[in-house]
Amino acid sequence: MTQKTGTVRATHRYDAAPERVFDAWLDPAIAGKFLFATPTGRMIKAEIDPRVGGGFTFTDRRPDMGDVEHVGTYIEIDRPRRLVFDFAVPAYEPTLTRITLDFAPSGSGCELTLTHQGVFEAYVKQTQSGWAMILDGLAKALA
């Protein structure tokens, strides 16, 4: 039996140019501060190979769950407009899902729209709040 999946969307406005917001996703020093980082965890690995076919690994050490590894492969890198990658958390769900980030100029800043496809319906709400936390964390990392 296959599980039903849904799509999660989140939008956030940043007071930074699209290039700066885009680049933050591909810079391990910045991405390690917000991408898959949790308030109670400590990022112990943030590795990025920023090319189509390249990948990333982020490992967040959490007191309640141990080391949680997040992995992905870049499908499309179109700076500063779009970033697409396949994503999984192998210890919990090895199924790859697809994440698309669209960056659009907005006034003196940028609006980022995130679309996460293939999320199991049971995890849609949790995934939505997770991405909201990550996008807020990106704003703090850019400040």
CATH topology of domain 6-142: Alpha-D-Glucose-1,6-Bisphosphate; Chain A, domain 4 (3.30.530)
Q: What are 115-131's pLDDT values in tens digits?
A: 999 999 999 999 999 99
Q: Which helix (H) or strand (E) holds 120?
A: strand 109-120
Which pLDDT does position 1 carry in this prediction? 53
Which pLDDT does position 16 carry in this prediction? 96
Which pLDDT does position 89 carry in this prediction? 92
Q: What are 73-96's pLDDT values in tens digits?
A: 999 999 999 999 999 999 888 889
* CA dist 26 → 38, 51, 67, 93, 112 (Å): 19, 9, 22, 24, 15
Given a cut of 70, whether residue 138 has pLDDT beyond it is: yes
Q: Measure the CA–CA gap between 90 and 26, rounded to whole angstroms.
A: 21
* CA dist 20 → 9, 25, 53, 76, 103 (Å): 21, 9, 22, 18, 10
